[in-house]
Structure 1
Amino acid sequence: MTKLAAENLCRLYAQTRGLNAAVLRTARFFPEDDDTHATPSGENLKANELLHRRLTVEDAADAHIAALHRAPQIGFGTFILSAPTLFTREHARALKEDASAVIARLFPEAPALYAAKGWSLPRSIGRVYDSAHAEEVLGFRCATSFADVMTALREGQAMPFTHDPAYLSPKER
Structure 2
Amino acid sequence: MEANPRGIPKSPFVDNVEEYLKTDTVEATLRKFTEAASKYKFMENSKLQQRSGLEQKIPEIKKTLAMVEYLTEQRKSNSPTKTLFEVNDTLYAHAVIPPTKAVNLWLGANVMLEYTLEEAQELLSSKLEIAEKNLEEASEDLEFLRDQITTMEVNTARVYNWDVKQRRIAKSATKE
With the length of structure 2 as denominator, give the TM-score of the two structures: 0.22
With the length of structure 1 as denominator, give the TM-score of the two structures: 0.22
More strand by share: 2
More helix by share: 2
Bigger RCO (CA 8 Å, 6+ sep) = 2
